[in-house]
Chain A
């Protein structure tokens, strides 16, 4: 019984702050406090007219799309190599690739800042953020794609080649359609991670901030807090939708190859 209470308390502690977001996003007051004073969509309207925000969102989406594409491609290469080939130090190399998953982001951010600015003597831009985001997103992509590739029978591509296809068309016709749900799932998760990543973006953005960095800037003005709440609400909704789509696709992919689900991120 006490365990059940603990579990419920745990969930409340975990999710209550997030539930506050939409509540205050629709609250008709600039002060974030109870009691609520009325319903309004004013803050959402204000989001639409804030020019600087639009720039930040555009930046973030640009970074997220490129990051998701690159890290998914890298993930495909790594997962395929891991599933189909044996090479010296395979476990060690694959382990090293997964390391950024547990590396503190602040460490990644600071060391990349030093490398880019001090050693390479380059300016900060969206591309520096993309480079860092690819680094932290790739392990997630590999983890998702590993599931997709490891369920594949390695003789399947050989069978396609045996039936007259080249190595590339065997991949395109057999492997690719089978791992497609995994690829989409990987893309969406990398997109989500990149979109709301703050620490790295904070250190490595150039003149144009990303959306999380812009939100951080807004927090200095108490009057704009409800706008942050509205933006946060949209972000949470978007994240949930994207991750749900990703998971549905992943499961559908599993069912398609006729294998049992072996977990995943959700």
Chain B
């Protein structure tokens, strides 16, 4: 895969407000790339600078090897699916989809209508061409917006929170459909979302943004298992944090974790450049366990008291208090056969493993 988009040291100011800070990123051809972050982190601004709706104050945006400085949105090889979908309500579905072909002189009327039918079929709206656009449901509008962008065969499809207006079921269905569609057309997708689950499910790579800068850029698994900072760890999934004191750093790191005691972790479990001294340790709820009666483990254990029980059906989330730690540990347990749901106040044994710890500065 080759680099399709590269942003070098991109900065954007709105007056005194620094909306994008030193953004450096490259996106490869055919990649499903997500910009993830809380609202106001600059992810939509970044998407709009790639689309050409916003200029950059500093830095270079390259698409397909061409510098995009001064190239307006209508001349860029990108197409966008807007958060509101921006379907033209006075046109039919087919007219909406064919909108981008207006300037195309190589195709005659018949070819255009064939192209429309083809792309409508691809997004699952076969036979909807004659419908009035304003009479469509949310999910259908979304598909029209997709079809309208895809018919131009852009190098990059930009998606600005495309699923946020849909209900949960529809959203999950569209996630899968979007992934399948992306594989099918082979176009680079850049998705903006504030939903970490959506980003994890769909993306090849994710850039997590905070306050206008990229906090971490990695594939979903690395991002989830090896967050490089506390804010990334907090934003992606659930994470327990314990105070820690790093004693020595070499191939292995010796660390004294509040409540758990001294343990040794591998260097890859910490961001590079970690030093001795105060730090934090992150533990995912699903890497902890409660030892039920009759179960055995060879891993480390520690005594605890159940402080809160949240029952989800397939899972139960326990907050367990252990000695020497102020906050409770959140533990996710599958409700397997034979496992009771514990009551608040129950004495338990917590199982943990040094291999699942993440050391954070």
Contact = CB atoms under 8 A, between A and B. Distances in A.
Interface in A114-171: 153, 155-156, 158-166
Contacts of B134: 256-258
B336 to A, nearest CB: 48
B216 interface: no
Given A158-B53, A258-B89, A164 B135 contact: no
Nearest to B90: A177
Contact of B72 (A153, A161, A177, A178): A161
Interface in B17-59: 51, 53
Contacts of A173: 99
A161 B71 CA distance: 12
Contact of A174 (B72, B82, B88, B100): B88
Contacts of B276: none
B79 interface: yes
Q: Which of B53, B78, B89 has the most CB of A within 10 A?
A: B89
Interface in B202-258: none
A86 to B, nearest CB: 11
A256 B89 contact: yes
Given A158-B73, A162-B74, A163-B152, A257 B84 contact: no
B148 interface: yes
Contact of B100 (A156, A163, A177, A258): A163
A163 B135 contact: no
B103 A164 contact: yes
Contact of B74 (A166, A178, A257): A166
B86 interface: yes
A67 to B, nearest CB: 29
Contacts of A177: 90
B72 A257 contact: no
Interface in B80-116: 80, 82-84, 86, 88-90, 99-100, 102-103
Contact of B89 (A161, A165, A166, A257): A257
B80 A162 contact: yes
B51 A162 contact: yes
Contact of A155 (B72, B86, B135): B86
B80 A165 contact: no
Given A158-B53, A158-B73, A256-B90, A163 B99 contact: yes
A162 B87 CA distance: 13
8 contacts: A156-B86, A160-B99, A162-B74, A163-B79, A163-B148, A256-B90, A258-B89, A258-B134
Interface of A: 153, 155-156, 158-166, 173-174, 177-178, 256-258
Interface of B: 51, 53, 72-74, 78-80, 82-84, 86, 88-90, 99-100, 102-103, 134-135, 148-149, 152
Given A163-B149, A164-B102, A164-B103, 12 more contacts: A155-B83, A158-B80, A159-B88, A162-B51, A162-B79, A163-B74, A163-B79, A163-B99, A164-B152, A165-B74, A256-B134, A257-B89
